[in-house]
Amino acid sequence: MKLSILDQSPIREGGTPHQAFQETLTLARKAEAMNYHRFWVSEHHNAHCLAGSAPEVLLAAIGAATEQIRIGSG
């Protein structure tokens, strides 16, 4: 069975968008290490608790941080 993760880059209470993105990169690396098939990110605007307003930029960072997991937005 092929498993995927959808991450919304949540900003923790008292946290920053930068921390949320770092947590997303860490999660993507761990997903790849655990042989997940795909890693998805979402796009949200004007949401104070979610950092993902530019998935294309985030996907580039995830692609640079991983080697073979498939990535996408949706």
pLDDT digits (tens, 9 = 90+) for 17-52: 999 999 999 999 999 999 999 999 999 999 999 998
Tell me how long the chain is. Answer: 74
Cβ neighbours, 10 Å, residue 45: 8
Would you say the C-alpha torsion 58, 59, 60, 64 has a positive or negative sign? positive
Residue ranges of the alpha helices (H) in 1-74?
Answer: 17-33, 55-65
Amino acid type, 18: H
Give, in order, the Cα–Cα distances in Å from 47 to each of 4, 17, 70. Answer: 24, 11, 26
Read off the pTM: 0.92
pLDDT at 5: 98
